[in-house]
Structure 1
Amino acid sequence: MDVDLFVAAHRAEWARLDTLLAARRLTGPEADELVTLYQRAATHLSVVRSAAPDPALLSWLSALVARARSAVTGAHSPAWREAGLFFAQRFPAAVYTSVRWWLPAAVVSILLGGLIGAWIAGDPQVRASLAAPEDVRALTEPGGQFETYYSANPAASFAAQVWTNNAWVAAMCLFFGVLLGVPVLIALWQNVLNVGLSAGFMAAAGRLDVFFGLITPHGLLELTAVFVAAGTGLRLGWTVLAPGGRSRAAALAQEGRAAAGMALGLACVLLVSGVIEAFVTPSGLPTWGRIAIGLVAEVLFLLYVFVLGRRAVRAGVTGDVASRHAGDLLPEAG
């Protein structure tokens, strides 16, 4: 093949492609022309490589085709950028948009837990029907089971155990919510009952200050994460009953993807609370110092949700994955 003749025959097309690549904006016809010229240039590069491997021409034409390919297909989004967008926008937006579900769940749960604790603390017969006196003493006495629970195992393994257990509870609330929210309500009730029982027995023993001193540092963030998971699960269950203007399949797909992302974000939140529970709660820090750490962690999370989350929602972020990853939908009758 005559290289000079080949270059002369296609130089105008290559020059036009180079001009289009240099333009800051393209009209619709120009974009179509760019795609066509890119395909032709890629064919020309293949011909040159096989028939006339001229080094200078190969280098220049390869660079032109690479630029055109980048313009046509778009730049690759690195994983770290996707992770950054998730934690900076999608996760806080998902938590913020579901606040009308998880905030009522938190309020009702706290009120029920307080009522259960007060009932148990104020009625000896109720306490006697729930546990034997020796078991109550073993739980509530100084150095008893309630206190030693946080320091009985090495901190690192205890943190992993706590994180795994809490992450499982959160995941169950998130994904089993599709069963009309019934498993979520059961999980919430069990959580409320456990906290209420412990609070009631400790209050009856005159050690409510110890209860709050041990439960508050990690419990604020941990319970908030559980309430968020529960609220999201209830929202998913409600979507089954009332998908809105979407088809039930499309609504469940969208809410399910958001719930999956929520699971990842809450796993990180629960990891923080697990570390606090394992290393801060049983530490030798004064009670006010341990509670202050828990309060700081809780306030930072709420600011993260209500500042970054609100800002992301106002920018149009819904908590769902990017549209290019969500897949295409079939047309639906209105």
Structure 2
Amino acid sequence: MREGLFIKKNKEHWEKIEHDRSANADETASNFTRLVNDLAYAKTFYPGSKITTYLNALASRIYLSIYQNRKDPENRLAAFVRRDLPLTIARRYKMLLFAFGVFVIFFSVGFFSAMQDKTFVRQVLGDGYVDMTEQNIAEGNPFDVYAQTSPFLMWIQIMLNNIIVCIMYFFRGVLLGIPSILALGRESIRIGAFEYMFYSHGLGADAVVTVLLHGLLELTAIIITCGAGLVMGTSWLFPGTRRRFKALQDGVKDGVKIVAALIPVFMVAAFIEGFVTRHYKMPLPMSLGILAACGAFIVWYFILYPFQVAAAERKRRAATYE
């Protein structure tokens, strides 16, 4: 087709598209499809023509009107929390479960070692801390250590310390994950010895209820952080069908996702420790209510919800390929 005939045949339609700003979505999509076809034809047969330049500019304008100001159907942060992170947890659950197993084993080691060796608690926690705690127990305020600093200052200090320490635990995991697991083992032994210190004074249940007000979230975050370090460090050992470097990249990305998502958990745990735990003499139902809320969140978001999202994703993919 000669260029003049091509222009004459389509000119009216192009002008309508150019001047009509009230087209609905379906019309706009149809117009854009036709323009792209006309542009492809013009580039093929009239590559240096002004009509090719005109159609290219017109198609670009419509493209921008469709995509430039388009809002994402879901906020990126919301998508991360609702989909990306749960899928990552479900994909890496074996490593996180292994980290939990390490915690249980070494917590038991710390508890029963303190039971067998009366000096073990002091070796692990230090004489100063043990002497202070025993003095508080003798005075009838066994958990007064949580009330010796202003709530806000305590919140900030604990939050920053826990975040920094756990980021260090995570990045140490680059060495096959071994340093992360060793760090988790040491922390678990300390916690086991700490619990026995109160248990030996007949305050085991009180320690569980009081310390877990903030400790349930805090310990969960520490375990998952060290599990994320294991994910990163072992990813290149088990690359599957991927190249080892690509597997390492994926492991680092997944680990960073997990650790980044735990920062709010550390913030909330530190807030509870700074503002709530100091009131350890609160009515038992109130303490149990806080524990139940924290426990329900952990079980739902870190155990049940990831597998629900993963199952929905598998169904979606299966429907796509049918």
Question: TM-score by structure 1 length?
Answer: 0.72
Aligned position for 1:330: none
Report the CA distance between 1:193 and its aligned residue: 2.2
Contact 1:121 1:203 in 2 (8 A): no
Q: Which runs of 5+ in 2 are unaligned?
A: 1-6, 44-49, 315-322
Q: Distance in 1 between matches of 2:290 and 2:283?
A: 11
Q: Does 1:312 align with 2:309?
A: yes
Q: Which runs of 5+ in 1 are unaligned?
A: 1-5, 48-60, 318-334
Determine which of 159, 166, 178 is the counterpart of 2:155: 159
| Partner Cα distance (2:167, 2:290) in 1 | 26
- 8 Å contact from structure 1 (residues 156, 278) kept in 2: yes
Which string of whole-angstrom CA distances, capped at 9 and with x for unpartnered residues, describes residues 298-328 of structure 1?
21232123443223223449xxxxxxxxxxx
Q: Which residue of 1 aligns with 2:99?
A: 105
User: Residue 194 of structure 1: CA displacement?
Assistant: 1.6
Tell me, yes or no, if structure 1 residue 69 matches structure 2 residue 70. Answer: no
The match for 2:79 among 79, 85, 105 is 85
The match for 2:244 is: 248
TM-score by length of 2: 0.75
Q: CA offsets, 1:205-238, max 9 Å, x none?
A: 3332332132111111111111111112112111
Aligned to 1:33: 37
Q: Contact 1:170–1:226 at 8 Å: present in 2 too?
A: yes
Q: Which residue of 2 aligns with 1:262?
A: 258
C-alpha offsets along residues 225-270 of structure 1, whole Å, 9 cap, x if unaligned? Answer: 1111111211211112222211122112222222222222100111
* SS of equivalent residue, structure 1 residue 240: coil
Q: Is the 8 A contact 1:174 1:233 kept in 2?
A: yes
Deviations 1:143-195 (A, max 9, x none): 59962331211112211222212222332233332211122022102211221
- SS of 1:246's equivalent in the other structure is coil
**Match of residue 13 from structure 1:** 14
After alignment, is 307-316 or 232-241 more displaced? Answer: 307-316
**Pair 1:147 & 2:143 matched:** yes
Report the aligned-residue RMSD.
Answer: 4.0
CA spacing shift, 1:117–1:99, aligned 2, 3 Å: same
Higher relative contact order (CA 8 A, sep 6+): 1
Residue pairs, 1:166-315, within 5 angstroms: 166-283=162-279, 284-315=281-312
Determine if contact 1:159/1:275 at 8 Å carries over to the other structure.
yes
* Percentage identity across paired residues of the two chains: 21
Distance 1:132 1:176 in 2: 25
* Contact 1:119–1:200, Cα closer than 8 Å, also in 2: no
Q: Aligned residue pairs: how many?
A: 295
Contact 1:217/1:276 (8 A) holds in 2: yes
